[in-house]
C-alpha cells in the first residue's frame, strides 16, 4: 500500500518516509526521530546529524560550523590519489578554529604533479548548499534514492529530468558543483595525464564546460579572487585530444 511522504516534524523511522527535502533524524540524541529539513540549522547549532546543518559540517563536538579554510599535510612517500586520502587535508572549522582531517580530501592536479585540497572556498560552498536545498525542495517527483545525502554525487542528468527547479538555478547548481568537484585539478598550469585519467572526464566538451563555466573565476581558501589563464589551459586540453 502506498502512503504519502511525511511532512516536517512528523515521526519517522527511515529517510524514505519523508518528503525529499527532509531527512529522518533528530537534532540530538535525546529527541525522537522526525522529518527534519536538510541544511537548515545555522552555524553554532548543536546536532548529532551534520545533514541538518546549513553548512553541512560539524566540529568534532557536534556543532554546526563552516569550514574557514584548509591546508594539506603532504606525505612525500605517496602520490595523491582521488580515491584515497594520501596527502591528507585538514579543515579549519570556523566556529571554534578546531581542525578535522576527515572532511576534505586531497586531489591530484590536471596540470602538474602536485596535489591540492578539494575545497572551493567558503563563498562557493555556501552558495552550493543554498542551491542544493532549493533543488531538493523543488524535486518532489524525483526518486528519493536519486537525492543523495552528498549533493556532489547526484546524477545531474537524472535530476534535471524530474525537478521543477528553474533551469537557470539548476545550471547554477551544476556550475557550483563543478567548481567544487574540480577545485583541485584546475589550480595549476602544467598538464598531468595520470590525473586526467583518474578524474575520468569523458569528453572535450565536458572538460571545456568545466574550465570555461566552472573555473573561469576561482576563490582560493584565503578569499583571494583570481582569474584562471583559460586560453593557456584550453590549448593544453586541445593538445590532449589531438594526441
Q: What's the pLDDT tens digit per position in 77-132?
A: 555 555 555 667 889 999 999 999 889 887 776 666 667 788 888 889 999 999 99
Distance CA 169, CA 19 (A): 21
Distance CA 103, CA 18 (A): 27
pLDDT tier at 220 (50, 70, 90 boundaries)? Answer: very low
Query: To 10 degrees, what angle do helices 167-181 and 122-137 make?
Result: 140
Give the pLDDT confidence score for residue 196 in this predicted structure. 55
Any idea where the domains of the chain sit in the sequence? 1-37, 124-242
Instruction: Tell me: pLDDT of 62 over 90.
Output: yes
Query: 100 - beta bridge partners?
Result: 91
Residue indicated by cell numbers 533524524: 25
Residue 142 burial (10 A CB sphere; 0-12, 13-18, 19+): buried
Percent of the chain scoring above 70 in pLDDT = 66
Q: Taking residues 47-52, report their average pLDDT.
A: 93
Give the pLDDT confidence score for residue 195 in this predicted structure. 60
Q: How many helices (H) and strands (E) does the chain have?
A: 6, 9
93 within 8 A of 65, measured Cβ to Cβ: yes
Distance CA 97, CA 197 (A): 36
Cα–Cα distances in angstroms (integers) from residue 134 to residues 130, 138, 140, 161, 173, in the given order: 7, 6, 11, 16, 9
Least Cα distance to 5 among 128, 133, 204, 143 occurs for 143
Residues 126-159 have pLDDT tens digits of 999 999 999 999 999 999 999 999 999 999 999 9
Distance CA 235, CA 230 (A): 8
Give the pLDDT confidence score for residue 20 in this predicted structure. 94
Amino acid at each position: 500500500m502506498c502512503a504519502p511522504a511525511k511532512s516536517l516534524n512528523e515521526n519517522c523511522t527511515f529517510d524514505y518516509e519523508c518528503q525529499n527535502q527532509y531527512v529522518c533524524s533528530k537534532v540530538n540524541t535525546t529527541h525522537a526521530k522526525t522529518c527534519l529539513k536538510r541544511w537548515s540549522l545555522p552555524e553554532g547549532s548543536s546536532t548529532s546529524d551534520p545533514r541538518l546543518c546549513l553548512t553541512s559540517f560539524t566540529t568534532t563536538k557536534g556543532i554546526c560550523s563552516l569550514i574557514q579554510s584548509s591546508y594539506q599535510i603532504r606525505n612525500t612517500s605517496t602520490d595523491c590519489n582521488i580515491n584515497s586520502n594520501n596527502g591528507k587535508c585538514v579543515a579549519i572549522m570556523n566556529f571554534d578554529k578546531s581542525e578535522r582531517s576527515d572532511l576534505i580530501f586531497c586531489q591530484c592536479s590536471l596540470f602538474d604533479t602536485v596535489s591540492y585540497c578539494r575545497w572551493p572556498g567558503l563563498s562557493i560552498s555556501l552558495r552550493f548548499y543554498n542551491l542544493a536545498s532549493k533543488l531538493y525542495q523543488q524535486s518532489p517527483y524525483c526518486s528519493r534514492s536519486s537525492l543523495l545525502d552528498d549533493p556532489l554525487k547526484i546524477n545531474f542528468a537524472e535530476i534535471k529530468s524530474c525537478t521543477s527547479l528553474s533551469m537557470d538555478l539548476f545550471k547554477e547548481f551544476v556550475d557550483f558543483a563543478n567548481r567544487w568537484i574540480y577545485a583541485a585539478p584546475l589550480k595549476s598550469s602544467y598538464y598531468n595525464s595520470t590525473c586526467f585519467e583518474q578524474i575520468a572526464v569523458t569528453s572535450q566538451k565536458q572538460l571545456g564546460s568545466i574550465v570555461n563555466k566552472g573555473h573561469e573565476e576561482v576563490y582560493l581558501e584565503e578569499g583571494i579572487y583570481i582569474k584562471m589563464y583559460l586560453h593557456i589551459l584550453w590549448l593544453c586540453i586541445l593538445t590532449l585530444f589531438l594526441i
